[in-house]
Amino acid sequence: MTADPRRDLLRHQFDLTWALFEYHLDRLTPEDFLWEPAPLCWTVRRTPDDTWLPDWSDTEPDPVPVPTIAWLSWHIGWWWGVALDHVEGRPPRDRAGVDWPGPGKPTVDWLRALRTAWLTATDRLADPDLDATAPFPWPNDPTYTVADMLAWANAELMKNAAEIGQVRLLRGALGEQ
């Protein structure tokens, strides 16, 4: 029996995306995270109990706020953590329960730990698991498979990594560093 070729393709996509993301992770400074690139932006704000609360709306705002690196990194932790919960068969975490670690190294370490947990969990999947119905992020679509969910996670990571990189580069180009 030969291995499912989708597995190698999905892993190659992920590894390429992560390598591109590492370029920016290695260069982020704590000040990059909370820099607001526009007057209308979403960020993560410190609360009186010393935790961080992300800006959020249950309906898409118009215009859409420009996210900070802090918000984008929290967002990665949220959707990736929920995807990981599903891959590992755990109840998915609630968005409001995803704590952002704070600017700089704590968040970079958090994202790298999510990567390690993701690779561990997805490497354990058997080829038949790739064809199982995925409950996330489209729970009511019986044709959406675990392989589709892994491909979605790769695409979402690539999008968020590019957004983080763009905000970081913009801050530098504007002389904000």
Name the more confident of 7 and 20: 20
| Model confidence, pTM | 0.94
Supply the pLDDT for residue 2. Answer: 61
Q: How does pLDDT run across 87-112, given as a tens digit for each residue?
A: 998 999 999 999 999 999 999 999 99
Enumerate long-range contacts of 147-150, CB under 8 Å, 24 or more apart. Answer: 147/6, 147/10, 149/83, 149/86, 149/87, 150/10, 150/14, 150/122
pLDDT tens-place string over residues 70-79: 999 999 999 9
Residue type, 45: R
Q: What is the mean pLDDT of residues 1-19?
A: 88
Q: Which residue has the higher pLDDT, 128 or 63?
A: 63
Domain ranges of the chain: 12-39+65-173
Q: Rounded to whole angstroms, how far apart are CA atoms 35 and 31? A: 7
Question: Can you tell me which residue has the tokens 């990571």?
Answer: 157
The CATH code that applies to domain 12-39+65-173 is 1.20.120.450
Mean pLDDT of the chain: 93
CB burial of 116-140 (b: ≥16 within 10 Å; e: otherwise) equals eebeebbeebeeebbeeebbbbeee
